Chains A and B, each alone.
Chain A
Amino acid sequence: DTGVSQDPRHKITKRGQNVTFRCDPISEHNRLYWYRQTLGQGPEFLTYFQNEAQLEKSRLLSDRFSAERPKGSFSTLEIQRTEQGDSAMYLCASSLTTGDSPLHFGNGTRLTVT
Chain B
Amino acid sequence: QQPVQSPQAVILREGEDAVINCSSSKALYSVHWYRQKHGEAPVFLMILLKGGEQKGHEKISASFNEKKQQSSLYLTASQLSYSGTYFCGTGHNDYKLSFGAGTTVTVRA
Interface of A is mostly: loop
Would A40 and B101 count as touching, CB distance under 8 A? Answer: yes
Which of chain B's residues have a CB closer than 8 A to the CB of A106? 41
Smallest Cβ-Cβ distance to A95: which chain B residue:
B95
Structural contact, B102 and A41, CB atoms closer than 8 A: yes
In the complex, what residue of chain B is closest to A92 when comparing beta carbons? B41
Question: Which chain B positions have C-beta within 8 A of A50?
Answer: 95
**12 pairs, CB–CB < 8 Å, chain A vs chain B:** A4-B41, A40-B101, A43-B87, A45-B96, A48-B96, A55-B95, A56-B96, A100-B49, A103-B44, A105-B42, A105-B43, A108-B41
- In the complex formed, the residue of A with least CB distance to B29 is A99
Contact with A along B90-102 (1 / 0, CB 8 A): 0100111111111
Question: Which chain B positions have C-beta within 8 A of A85?
Answer: none
Knowing A42-B102, A44-B99, A45-B96 are in contact, say whether A99-B44 is a contact too (CB < 8 A): no
Give every chain A residue within 8 A of B87 (Cβ-Cβ): 42-43
Q: Which residues of B contact A (CB under 8 A)?
A: 2, 29-30, 32, 34, 40-44, 47, 49, 87, 89, 91, 94-102
Q: Which of chain B's residues has its CB closest to A43's CB?
A: B99
A31 on the B face (CB < 8 A):
yes
Cβ of A41 to closest chain B Cβ, rounded Å:
6
* Chain A nearest CB, measured from B9 CB (Å): 11
Which of B29, B32, B41 is within 8 Å of A91, CB to CB?
A: B41
A102 touches B42 (CB 8 A): no
Residue B95 contacts which of A40, A42, A99 (CB distance < 8 angstroms)? A99
Judge whether A104 is part of the interface by a CB distance below 8 angstroms.
yes
**A42 touching B44 by the CB < 8 A rule?**
no
Residue-wise, chain A 41-60 has the 8 Å CB interface mask toward B (1 for contact) of: 11111001010000110000
Partner of B47, one of A4, A91, A102: A102
Distance, CA A34 to CA B74, complexed state (A): 29
Contact B40 A103 (CB under 8 A): no
Q: With contacts A42-B99, A105-B41 known, what are 6 further pairs, Cβ within 8 A?
A: A40-B101, A41-B101, A100-B49, A103-B32, A103-B89, A103-B97
